[in-house]
């Protein structure tokens, strides 16, 4: 299992819920922890799930919602 941290411009629990839904649909993701105040998302996933793939999925949401998304 690999752990990846993202900096995500979440402003509310709705944003955090959207991030969890997006990442939760990816096969191999086992745990997602969001912190709205710190604007961080920590993802546990199997080694075959790349951080670039997860970032791509989050960037689609970020671009549509006007939120920033980056690898920490």
* DSSP 8-class letter at 9: -
State the pLDDT at residue 62: 96
User: What's the Cα-to-Cα distance from 4 to each of 7, 62, 65, rounded to whole Å?
Assistant: 10, 17, 22
The better pLDDT of the pair 43, 1 is held by 43
Instruction: Give yes or no for a contact between 18 and 61, defined as CB atoms under 8 angstroms apart.
Output: yes
pLDDT digits (tens, 9 = 90+) for 6-53: 999 999 999 999 999 999 999 999 999 999 999 999 999 999 999 999
What pTM does this model have?
A: 0.94
Question: Quick one: average pLDDT of 49-67?
Answer: 97
**Token match 């709705």: residue?**
14
CA 37/CA 9 separation, integer angstroms: 10
Q: How confident is the model at residue 3 (pLDDT cuts 50, 70, 90)?
A: very high
CA dihedral 53, 56, 58, 62 (to 10 degrees): 170
State the pLDDT at residue 39: 98
């Amino acid at each position: 299992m690999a752990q990846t941290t993202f900096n995500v411009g979440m402003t509310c629990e709705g944003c955090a819920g959207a991030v969890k839904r997006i990442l939760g649909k990816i096969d191999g993701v086992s745990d997602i922890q969001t912190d709205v105040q710190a604007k961080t998302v920590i993802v546990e996933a199997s080694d075959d799930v790349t951080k670039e793939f997860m970032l791509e999925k989050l960037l689609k949401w970020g671009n549509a919602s006007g939120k920033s998304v980056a690898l920490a």
